[in-house]
């Protein structure tokens, strides 16, 4: 089962990288009063990274909540 998870993660990572590098046109991002111009690859990778970090934090909190207290 661990080998299957590893293969799934590698396949998803490769598909994500292909998607990111195929979308290189620039985007204008507006947040509050600020406006930034970013290449699409940087913007997509940043959003992916933020989502990964949030998922890891949420997963750790749920795992901590499920463990029985001694």
Query: Which residues contact residue 26 at a Cβ distance below 8 angstroms, ignoring those fewer than 6 apart?
Result: 37, 38, 39, 40
pLDDT value of position 67? 64
Mean local confidence (pLDDT), 7-23: 85
**Structural domain spans, the chain:** 2-66
Taken in order 52, 57, 61, 63, the sign of the CA dihedral is positive
For residue range 33-53, what is the model confidence (pLDDT) as tens digits? 889 888 888 888 788 889 889
Taking the whole predicted model, whether its pTM rises above 0.75 is answered as no
DSSP calls for 45-70:
HHHHHHHHHHHHHHHHHHHHHHSPP-
């Amino acid at each position: 089962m661990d080998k299957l998870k590893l293969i799934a993660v590698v396949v998803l990572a490769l598909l994500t990288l292909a998607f990111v590098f195929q979308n290189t046109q620039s985007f204008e991002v507006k947040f509050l009063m600020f406006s930034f111009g970013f290449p699409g690859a940087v913007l997509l990778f940043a959003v992916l990274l933020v989502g990964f970090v949030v998922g890891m934090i949420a997963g750790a909190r749920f795992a901590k909540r499920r463990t029985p207290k001694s």
